[in-house]
A and B are shown apart, each in its own frame.
Chain A
């Protein structure tokens, strides 16, 4: 386990079995990454849109859990919805993602997530998630 993973806690089983890892942090939020391989491949040599969505979603939850822990809260999280925008094809190299809390309310949170490959300023996909906290 990396230091960052130790600081941010475990990812869910689905994330671990897809090979998603916490590889660092930026502005206090965890940076998640998944390498390219058969498990994430859609059309040849490209990420499957579903695998990219899985990375985005996990980065969104990891960001929210981080913000909640900092606020001394530990609610159960339930997804309300997610909208994924695909901006560029995910090529056969690692992808990264980080979430940002747009609004943290008492019952719901709005989280924006960005995924990129080798150039942080050229995202391959973004997502907006609404998450219920109970």
Chain B
């Protein structure tokens, strides 16, 4: 990380970012929660909810919200790996369903960013309800960076630095 004349924005931290990411919008509506993180991975939880059922005959979370969970965990894994909050856009996301989630179970999504280039980031991960060794789904995705860290462009977000 560069430390020149100006103080760079604080390193992106998924745990801290979650405090405001999940207050509004789609992920707020889903009620996503932060659970864990590493240098290049993030794990989030999608809590069980009656109105997110995908099938009237079984109390099992729909696959749509699981895609949202994995998409969000993917973006955050990329920011966690790069250390900066550069906006990214999903280019391609593939979900292979291994089995239905258990009845009335919350689902966790753990995604790692295993490779970044100047313009693309590659992720892979699992969704699981109980045991990470028995996942509900595997995912793989490619994201494109679409701009600079908004904190770089907005001095108010610089965290006390000066030009």
Contacts and interface: CB of A to CB of B under 8 A. Distances in A.
Interface in B117-161: none
A40 to B, nearest CB: 5
A28 interface: no
B155 to A, nearest CB: 19
Nearest to A58: B64
B100 A48 contact: no
Interface in A76-113: 76, 78-86, 89
B20 interface: no
Contacts of B87: 43
Contact of A53 (B24, B25, B53, B68): B68
A13 B51 contact: yes
Interface residues of A, number: 33
A62 B139 CA distance: 24
B92 A85 contact: yes
B56 interface: yes
Nearest to A40: B26
Contact of B67 (A10, A40, A84): A84
Contacts of B28: 38
A133 to B, nearest CB: 14
B93 A53 contact: yes
Given A14-B53, A50-B65, A82-B94, A89 B89 contact: yes
A12 to B, nearest CB: 5
Interface string B81-104: 000000101111111110010000
Contact of A12 (B27, B53, B96): B53
Given A10-B56, A48-B71, A86-B89, 7 more contacts: A14-B64, A49-B89, A50-B26, A53-B64, A57-B67, A81-B96, A86-B91
Contact of B25 (A13, A17, A18, A48): A48
Contact of B50 (A10, A13, A58, A80): A13
A16 B52 CA distance: 9
B76 interface: no
A85 B91 contact: yes
A79 B63 contact: yes
A28 B69 CA distance: 33
A13 B25 CA distance: 19
A22 to B, nearest CB: 16
